[in-house]
Amino acid sequence: MRGFTILEQINISSTLGNLERSRSNVGWCGEVEKRRDSMGSKTKLTPEKYIECYQKIGSKAGVARKLCVDERNLRRFVKRNQDKINALMGAEEDESSALSILQQAMLPEEENPEDEHEEKINPREYLVPSEAKVDHSTNKTRLKIGIIADTHLCSKQQQLTYLKDFYCRAYDAGVRDIYHAGDMIAGVDVYPGQSNDLIRFTEDEQVDYAVECYPKVDGVTTHVISGNHDLIFVKRKGGDPLRLISLHRPDINYLGQFSAWVKLANDCSMYLLHPDGGSAYASSYKLQKLIESFSGGQKPHLAIMGHYHRRCYVSERNVHGFLGACFEAQTDFLRRKAVQPVIGGTILDIEFTDNGSIQDIGVNFRQYLVPKEKDY
């Protein structure tokens, strides 16, 4: 820039720079307008367009992002056009199902995928069958039974010596039937880090260990329901371990998964339950809520709960409720949950009236205060 002063050269450079920025801004605005136009064309919704995107993406939020529309507006659109969308989707399903049937019929026999039904099983639906109802009624006016829960065999913290001791003491007291409220074995990977607490690591190993080591006293039958630790293998499409154990141990009677109703006398029923969820602050809370949940005329006379590793007895609404305690010492997991387990079992001495209802009930809890280490 010869012939110009320094100040004039600076002014000219500044002016040229402003012109360049203006041009770039114009180009950028043009691009924005183009994008807006293209986005505007995409936001023109139709039920057919919505269905097409929804079937590919699987969520309304994803469709909204794909079509560049507000999710709330999309939901309003779907609500306004729900009937038409349902009709279109129903027609497509009918067409696809007819096509799949035709394709299935055209497959040669050797290519027919018969085993694919296993992948369609919903484990949660398979886990919870209808509650079992069994009749163990007696004509005697007095009955003694044992109550236990959560033995967790194959845990490093199992208390097998105390469990065997309880069986012997129960037999000496006249008990011939012991009811187990779930979690006979420890299971695998029920909670993070459980592998550090186990001595057996597969379903077969745990079943074999239970068959061999679970207490066996001549004349005593164990009636058991399965709990969440037992059924972890079923949840992963394996076998039911307690069913396998009962096949090899005639003294173990498997009542079913999670719960069972047992008739003890003409007018006396007992409900066994292994519930879900964690412990409450008060030991009696879960038991009280269970008793409150029974409809009038459908209440049991005895309610036995496992799962919580605690001992408790309450009597409400003419229902005698018990927490079954456990035979497993405190694991790292229970310590993290601030749960101090109560080790032991209960012997109930029930006296019936002439019509079979409960006249009196004696409760004898055998507690083991000092856990044994490496009791396996």
pLDDT at 85: 80
Mean pLDDT of 121-131: 51
The answer to whether residue 78 is domain-embedded is no
The residue-averaged pLDDT of 323-346 equals 95
How many domains does the chain fold into? 1
Give the pLDDT confidence score for residue 166 in this predicted structure: 98
With respect to residue 107, please indicate whether it lies within any of the assigned structural domains: no
CATH number for 200: 3.60.21.10
67-71's contacts with Cβ under 8 Å and 24+ in sequence apart are: 67/42, 67/43, 68/39, 68/42, 68/43, 69/43, 69/45
In this predicted structure, what is the pLDDT of residue 99? 47
User: Is 298 domain-assigned?
Assistant: yes
Residue 102: inside a domain:
no
Give the pLDDT of residue 230. 95
* Domain assignment present for 189: yes
Q: Does 332 map to a domain?
A: yes
Helix (H), strand (E), coil (C) string for 283-341: CCHHHHHHHHHCCCCCCCCEEEECCCCCEEEEEECCEEEEEECECECCCHHHHHCCCCC
Residue 325's pLDDT band, with cuts at 50, 70 and 90, is very high
Q: In whole angstroms, what is the distance from residue 149 CA to residue 274 CA?
A: 9
How many angstroms from the chain centroid is the CA of residue 214?
26
Residue-level pLDDT at 91: 61
pLDDT value of residue 57: 75
Question: What is the per-residue pLDDT for 40?
Answer: 44
> Measured at the alpha carbon of residue 117, what is the angle toward residues 112 and 123, in degrees to the nearest 5?
170
CA-to-CA distance for 65 and 68, rounded, in angstroms?
5
pLDDT at 328: 97
Give the per-residue pLDDT at 235. Answer: 84
Q: Which of 14-18, 236-240, 313-317 has the lowest mean pLDDT?
A: 14-18
Give the best-scoring range by mean pLDDT among 13-22, 62-71, 147-156. Answer: 147-156
Return the amino acid letter for 182: G
Predicted confidence band of residue 351 (pLDDT cuts 50, 70, 90)? very high
Local confidence band at 107 (pLDDT 50, 70, 90 cut-offs): very low
pLDDT at 276 over 60: yes
Over residues 194-205, the mean pLDDT reads 94
- What's the confidence (pLDDT) of residue 208? 96
* Across 170-182, average pLDDT: 97
The answer to the question of residue 331 being in a domain is yes
Number of neighbouring beta carbons within 10 Å of residue 77: 17
Mean predicted confidence (pLDDT) in 163-187 = 97
Q: Is the pLDDT of residue 260 over 90?
A: yes
Name the least confident of 65-69, 175-179, 215-219: 65-69
- Report the 10 Å Cβ neighbour count for 263: 17
Asked if the structure places residue 70 within a domain, the reply is no
Percentage of the residues of the chain whose pLDDT score is greater than 90: 56
pLDDT at 164 > cutoff 90: yes
Residue 186 confidence (pLDDT): 97
Q: 60-64, 94-98, 259-263, 282-286: which range is least confident on average?
A: 94-98
pTM listed for this prediction: 0.67
Sheet bearing 132-135, strands edge to edge: 132-135, 259-265, 268-273, 302-305, 319-324, 311-316
pLDDT tier, 327 (very low <50, low <70, confident <90, very high otherwise) = very high
Structural domain boundaries enclosing 321: 133-276+285-367
HEC-encoded secondary structure of the chain: CCCCCHHHHHHHHHHHHHHHHHHHHHHHHHHHHHHHHHHHHHCCCCHHHHHHHHHHHCCHHHHHHHHCCCHHHHHHHHHHCHHHHHHHHHHHHHHHHHHHHHHHHHCCHHHCCHHHHHHHCCHHHHHCCCCEEEECCCCCCEEEEEEECCCCECECCECHHHHHHHHHHHHHCCCCEEEECCCCECCCCCCCCHHHHECCCCHHHHHHHHHHHCCCCCCCEEEEEECCCCCHHHHCCCCCHHHHHHHHCCCEEEEEECEEEEEEECCEEEEEECCCCCCCCCCCHHHHHHHHHCCCCCCCCEEEECCCCCEEEEEECCEEEEEECECECCCHHHHHCCCCCCEEEEEEEEEECCCCCEEEEEEEEEECCCCCCCCC
pLDDT tens track for 221-254? 999 999 999 999 988 878 899 999 999 999 999 9
pLDDT at 84 over 60: yes
pLDDT of residue 110 exceeding 80, the answer is no
